[in-house]
Amino acid sequence: MTSSERAGTGFRFADPVLAEVVQGGLNEVEELLHKVVQSEFHPVMETSLHLVEAGGKRIRPLFTILSAQFGETWDRENVIKAAAVVELTHLATLYHDDVMDEATMRRGAASANAKWDNSIAILTGDYLFAHASALVADLGTGAARIIAETFSELVTGQMRETVGPRAGEDPVAHYLTTIAEKTGSLIATAARFGAMFSEATPEQVEALRAYGEVIGAAFQISDDVIDIASPTEESGKTPGTDLREGVKTLPMLYALEDEPDSRLARLLAAPITDDAEVFEALELLRASSGLARARKTLDDYAERARANLEVLPTGAARDALESVSDYVVTRTR
């Protein structure tokens, strides 16, 4: 890692010493991830390593290691274990999500459910959850309680998304609660763990937890905007994926709220399979108030996240966190 931006994460490290410390910690996390999934039963080890070795940005361990820089001294062994716990938890949810979404690809490779089958993917996710639980047991009952509460939030968020808003429930409020649980909760725990195991003050621990929760949700809103607003050559992704899957993201929900009887509302009533209709829906969304409102919400989330950092001491670590608040906004422009 250089003193510039860490690709795809938004973290910018102007201080090469901090960059080296964080990279060293990530290397140790990587070693631990490979170590804990070892098994004498080769099939479970093979399927577990499938996503571990597929790479990924390791955003959650990054938050843990960086948050550990605010305390008086960080317990390196426990911080690395905590970072591995949150990454194992994240990886486990990916195996389960791919089954629920009937996905065929994950991180540029065949998803586990496509390469093997749904049962194998589910069991592999369970295996990773088990190892996350075993690791967190070494960190004490407080950490174990926190990760258990986080499991609960992750499952509740997934259930909330699957069931959808109830009759009379505000779809936008439902969506924002869902992403706070599905995405924000684990990043919040990642940052909280780093602060806890570095003897940060209670106020700093809470600030970093709150920052992680808000910035995690902001990343999802940012992805929602990119799926509509950014051409393939800029984002590297094919626009309209959510439209094809029938997923109603924040810009769509705002557009439906503002124009419930429009042509766009009719297009969004079901997954769109026709390429011409996907293109039409994208054009209508790009011109809609829904996209503008989603950008405004993203700006608000980024500002809320940044405000949580005010209680932290100034310096390279805080600057790196603030750079993520900037990144979630600028990546959509």
Per-residue confidence (pLDDT) for residue 117, from 0 to 100: 81
- pLDDT, tens digit (0-9, with 9 covering 90-100), for 3-38: 456 666 778 898 999 999 999 999 999 999 999 999
Computed over every residue of the chain, the mean pLDDT equals: 91
By C-alpha distance, which of 243, 245, 333 is closest to 285? 243
Provide the number of structural domains found in the chain.
1
In-domain check, residue 8? no
Q: Is residue 62 part of a domain?
A: yes
Tokens of 7: 């690709």
Q: What is the pLDDT of residue 8?
A: 64
Q: Mind listing the pLDDT tens digit for each residue in 177-191? A: 999 999 999 999 999
**Distance (Å, whole) CA 82 – CA 116:** 30
Proportion of the chain above pLDDT 70, given as a percent: 94
**Structure token pair of residue 258:** 């503002």
Mean pLDDT of 253-277: 95
Q: Please check whether residue 280 lies inside any domain of the structure.
A: yes
pLDDT score of 230: 77
Torsion of CA 242, 166, 147, 186, to 10 degrees: 30
- Over range 77-105, report the average pLDDT: 88
User: According to the model, what pLDDT value does residue 3 have?
Assistant: 46
CATH number at residue 284: 1.10.600.10
What confidence tier does 2 reach under pLDDT thresholds 50, 70, 90?
very low
Burial (CB < 10 A; 0-12, 13-18, 19+), residue 168, is exposed
Strand 105-106 and strand 109-110: the pairing is antiparallel
With beta carbons less than 8 A apart as the criterion, state whether 217 and 301 touch: yes
pLDDT, tens digit (0-9, with 9 covering 90-100), for 274-290 = 999 999 999 999 999 99
In a domain, 285, yes or no: yes
**Mean pLDDT across 45-50:** 85
* Mean pLDDT to the nearest integer, 172-180: 97
- Is 2 inside a domain boundary? no
Structure token pair of residue 238: 């094919």
Whether 155 is covered by a domain: the verdict is yes
Greatest CA span in the chain, whole angstroms? 59
How confident is residue 115, by pLDDT bands cut at 50, 70 and 90? confident
pLDDT at residue 21, rounded to an integer: 94
Nearest alpha-carbon partner for 263 in 240, 284, 278:
284
Q: Picking from 116-120, 187-191, 251-255, 321-325, which range would have the lowest pLDDT averaged per residue?
A: 116-120
User: Roughly how many angstroms between the first and final C-alpha of the chain, as a whole number?
Assistant: 25
Helix (H, G, I), strand (E, B), or coil: what is residue 327?
Answer: helix
Ranking 41-55, 75-89, 146-160, 198-212 by mean pLDDT, the lowest is 41-55
| 169, pLDDT greater than 80 | yes
Write down the pLDDT at residue 237.
58
pLDDT, position 235: 43
Task: Examine residue 77 and state whether it is found in any structural domain, yes or no.
Answer: yes
Structural domain boundaries, residue 225: 16-330
Say whether pLDDT at 306 is over 90: yes
Question: What is the spatial distance between Cα 324 and Cα 191, in angstroms, rounded to a whole number?
Answer: 13
Gap between the Cα atoms of 201 and 205, Å rounded: 6
Please report the pLDDT score of residue 12 as a whole number: 87
Q: Please give the Cα distance from 69 to 64 (Å, whole number).
A: 9
User: Domain for residue 9, yes or no?
Assistant: no
Share of the chain above pLDDT 90, in %: 73
Query: How high is the pLDDT of residue 48?
Result: 84
